[in-house]
């Protein structure tokens, strides 16, 4: 059967990346799609692991060649997901997770209507502001723009299947893991994954 496709989106500062890492540690057989981006790497980020860091000219060439399943420009930088890698992983029966923004999620679900959308929300705008400020990497103007964008992004939460409030990291992690497990345990998924067992028992 085709592997499941999880699409996780959130506004900047909601803790999406941390939660995704927790899920992947708990479910190592879920494969993370590594996006391509034109933004420079942050401290500690590794090319090929966190992102594929490329220049704008190469990004545009890949986009024009139809290599991306989805792509978007966010905060002045471009991000894209490899169409061919996703298709190959799913065809092999492996579950895949995309960590993208809401624009990309919409594009993905237009192509894969079985994609499972999960949106991460902060507990409040006050907490979100504190998180963005606490990074110490952006100016006040940049933070103000990110907050304005975050408000606009959160209006798209109704387009997703599941919503997780990231107030407490441990609880939010457990919620994300629970969603992934529940999706894998659906009757139609189990029938396809262990057909011999169903044939024997039923």
What are the structural domain ranges in the chain?
Answer: 5-201
| pLDDT at residue 131 in the model | 84
pLDDT > 70? residue 115: yes
Residue 154: both structure tokens together = 């959160």
pLDDT > 80? residue 137: no
Confidence bin at 128 (pLDDT 50/70/90): confident
Asked if residue 37 lies in contact with residue 23, where contact means CB atoms within 8 angstroms, the answer is no
pLDDT > 70 fraction of the chain, expressed in percent and rounded: 99
| Residue 46, CA atoms < 13 Å, CB-side half-sphere | 2
Rounded Cα distance between 173 and 155, Å, is 23
Asked if residue 182 lies in contact with residue 162, where contact means CB atoms within 8 angstroms, the answer is no
Q: Which CATH class is domain 5-201?
A: alpha beta
pLDDT mean over 19-41: 94
- β-strands 5-9, 96-99 pairing: parallel
Mean pLDDT, rounded, of the chain: 92
Rounded Cα distance between 57 and 77, Å, is 13
| pLDDT at residue 136 in the model | 66
| pLDDT at residue 139 in the model | 82
* Selected residue with higher pLDDT from 54 and 71: 54
């Amino acid at each position: 059967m085709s592997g499941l496709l999880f699409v996780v989106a959130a506004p900047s500062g909601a803790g999406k990346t941390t939660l995704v890492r927790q899920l992947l540690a708990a479910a190592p057989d879920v494969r993370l799609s590594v996006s391509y981006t034109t933004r420079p790497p942050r401290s500690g980020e590794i090319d090929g692991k966190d992102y594929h860091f490329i220049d704008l000219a190469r990004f545009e060439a890949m986009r024009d060649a139809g290599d991306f399943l989805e792509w978007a420009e966010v905060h002045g930088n471009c991000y894209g997901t490899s169409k061919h890698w996703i298709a190959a992983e799913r065809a092999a029966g492996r579950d895949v997770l995309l960590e993208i923004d809401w624009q990309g999620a919409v594009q993905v679900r237009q192509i894969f209507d079985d994609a499972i959308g999960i949106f991460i929300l902060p507990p409040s705008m006050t907490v979100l502001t504190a998180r963005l400020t606490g990074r110490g990497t952006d100016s006040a103007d940049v933070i103000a723009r990110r907050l304005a964008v975050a408000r606009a992004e959160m209006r798209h939460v109704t387009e997703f299947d599941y919503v997780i409030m990231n107030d407490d990291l441990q609880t939010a992690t457990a919620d994300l893991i629970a969603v992934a497990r529940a999706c894998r345990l659906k009757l139609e998924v189990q029938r396809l994954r262990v057909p011999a067992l169903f044939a024997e028992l039923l």
